[in-house]
Structure 1
Amino acid sequence: MDVRCGMDLVDISRFVKIVEESNTAFINKCFTEGEKSYCDSAKNPAKKAERYAARYAAKEAVGKALGTGLLSEGVGMHDIEVVKNAKGVPEVRLSGGALAHAEDLGVCSVSISLSHDGGMAGAYCVMLLGK
């Protein structure tokens, strides 16, 4: 069994500006309806920015673990979705080009961890390959 990993850090202040300016073009380009619903459910604009930043970092981390990055080799922003399971733990749902690459690699499990503190949001992704 092989392991692949990826991580990313994002400056939350970038997302504070996006939230304050209601930059819907950027938000719609990068996030799924489910992600937007979750992030926008926060009443506090700073909390919204943290949620968006962490999910953006997660998408980058997953792209790095896939070895494709984002917006290349057919992997789009909406192909990597951060969801919460029944216990509230963040998980990744892959579709489109991201799912195709994961299947080609033989990915049998994807795990992520999200964090934000000190003005930064981070995400770490671990993929187990069963090929």
Structure 2
Amino acid sequence: MILGVGTDLIEIKRMEKACSQGRFVSRVFTETESRQAKGSASKLAGSFAVKEAVAKVLGTGFRSFMPGDIEVLRDSLGKPYVNLYGGAQKRFEEMGLTQIQVSISNTADFAMAFAVGEGEPPARKENGE
């Protein structure tokens, strides 16, 4: 069952500007994400868009966790996937999610991501129970 969806769109030039401040990259991206992107603003923009989309799947935005709690990597064929840590992992479990599927699309100017959270919602307690 689909429990959450999220999407995000970001300008790649905006990511280039943010990445020129080295502190931004180390605060938002894991070491593995940075290494896999090899300095590509386009890849980092796609990863950031995924982080935003996943935060929307989790229904909270970045309130109870930080962008670094969502790690966006690509497999050997380039398919993106996420690893969750800290507050993002906790929210994932609270929602009854079992997996999050993500997709990234890029143009010369924009990176867009879409995320779908699947699972079974926890049973709701009736009043007074």
TM-score normalised by the chain length of structure 1: 0.86
Gaps of 5+ in 1: 43-47
Give unmatched runs, 5+ long, in structure 2.
122-129
Match of 2:74 in 1: 84
Distance apart, 1:68 and its partner CA:
1.0
TM-score with structure 2 length normalisation? 0.87
Aligned-pair identity (%): 35
1:63 aligns with 2:61: no
Give how far 1:118 is off: 4.0
1-10 or 79-88: which moved more?
Answer: 79-88
How many angstroms apart in 1 are the aligned matches of 2:104 and 2:77? Answer: 15
- Report which of the two structures shows the higher radius of gyration computed on alpha carbons: 2
**Counterpart in 2 of 1:45?**
none
1:105 aligned partner: 95
More helix by proportion, 1 or 2?
1
Once the two structures are overlaid, the 10-residue window that deviates more, 78-87 or 55-64, is: 78-87
Question: Aligned ranges for residues 38-53 of structure 1 at < 5 Å?
Answer: 38-40=36-38, 48-53=40-45
Residue 35 of structure 1 aligns with which residue? 33
RMSD across aligned C-alpha pairs, in angstroms? 1.4
C-alpha distance in 1 between matches for 2:85 and 2:18? 26
Supply the distance in 2 between the matched residues of 1:3 and 1:120 (Cα, whole angstroms): 27
Equivalent residue pairs, number: 121
Aligned partner letter, 1:35? E
**Cα shift readout 1:101-128 (whole Å, capped 9, x = no counterpart):** 0000000111000111140101000001
Q: 1:63 is matched by which residue type in structure 2?
A: A
Paired letter, 1:98: A
